[in-house]
Amino acid sequence: MVKSPTNNHYMRIQHRYLTFDRNEKLVKLLDKLAIAYKVTEKSYDATTHLYILEFHFFEDNPRFFELKQAVDKFKIEPQIGTIYDKTDYNNGEWFIVNAGEYQYPQPDDDSGYLKATFNLEHYCHLCDIGKVQNAPYRLKTLPKQPNNQFWGLHWAFDAIFVRQETKNILEREGVKNIHFSNPVLHKTNNPIEGFYQLHIDTILKKGFDNYNAKTITCKLNNEENLNTDRSLKCCGRIKFHHPQIGGYLFEKSIFDGDSDIVQSVEYFGSSGSANRLQIVSKKLKDLIEIYKLKGLSFTPVVYKRLER
């Protein structure tokens, strides 16, 4: 269990187990330990039958180690995740946002979109750090999902897109240090009307605390056991794995500024993927909710405890 150096948060660490194998011994054990479980069974036809057994418990359970030890015998790898409490959302001042993934940027063969959309002078294809956007994203089709005011792509998690209504609201409400551009429909080369990439101009100072996140260096035989070919030219830059437990811990002071939407200077991801985090203030989150602008999910940022 990772001890969190934060206070004033109520998030819980969940271990979630999922198995497709029917096992009476496991069911008996869960009954004995009084762990609630859910069984889903579906028959598609005479031969295709689906069985799912699902259960979870939290690290703050006083019996956590007893439960984990008992269940570990069945060799089901748990998904470990952070479940935020309503209080974390109410107390949160900044929130990491995610706009979903609905299409691949074009051209989607051999990562052709990189060349089409970025200046790659300082780009490293091993770690994915260093690309600088200098042209519009190219989309395969007009964006569907009409209820989404916010919209995102596969691979390019940094890019957030908005519909006309959201652009109008953000401008009218005076949200600072942002600008907009139209993505392009790949086959026609025409800008997509009423649909915009939301560019976030503010990059925060360094402030991520990596106590619960692995640091990945772009070097030979790195922390992920990648880059084993000695002829590779590694750039030496670093990124972090997304923390699974304990949340994203930042230095509070780096958020002092007049921007309500910002990006981390740090990159996050694994192997050949690296992206900055996009982070909004409570004020902007409230605005998005008041206007019922759909399509973003929010994860509260946690702060470092002040030393006394």
Q: Which residues bind Zn ion (CB under 5 A)?
A: 124, 126-127, 218, 235
Of 124 and 302, CB closest to Zn ion: 124
* φ/ψ (deg, to 5) at 143: -60, 130
Of 235 and 287, CB closest to Zn ion: 235
* φ/ψ (deg, to 5) at 278: -105, 130
Q: How far apart are CA 101 and CA 230, in angstroms?
A: 35
Q: How far apart are CA 45 and CA 214, in angstroms?
A: 45
Q: How far is the CB of 214 from Zn ion (least distance, A)?
A: 16
Of 131 and 186, CB closest to Zn ion: 131
Asked if residue 184 lies in contact with residue 210, where contact means CB atoms within 8 angstroms, the answer is no
User: Which is nearest to 25 in space by CA: 1, 6, 2, 53?
Assistant: 53
Q: How far is the CB of 254 from Zn ion (least distance, A)?
A: 24
Q: How far apart are CA 287 and CA 54, in angstroms?
A: 37
Of 104 and 123, CB closest to Zn ion: 123
Q: Which two tokens stand for residue 55?
A: 């259960």
Q: How far is the CB of 157 from Zn ion (least distance, A)?
A: 18
Q: How far is the CB of 32 from Zn ion (least distance, A)?
A: 51
Of 91 and 217, CB closest to Zn ion: 217
Q: How far is the CB of 169 from Zn ion (least distance, A)?
A: 38
HSE-CB of 104 using CA atoms within 13 angstroms: 9
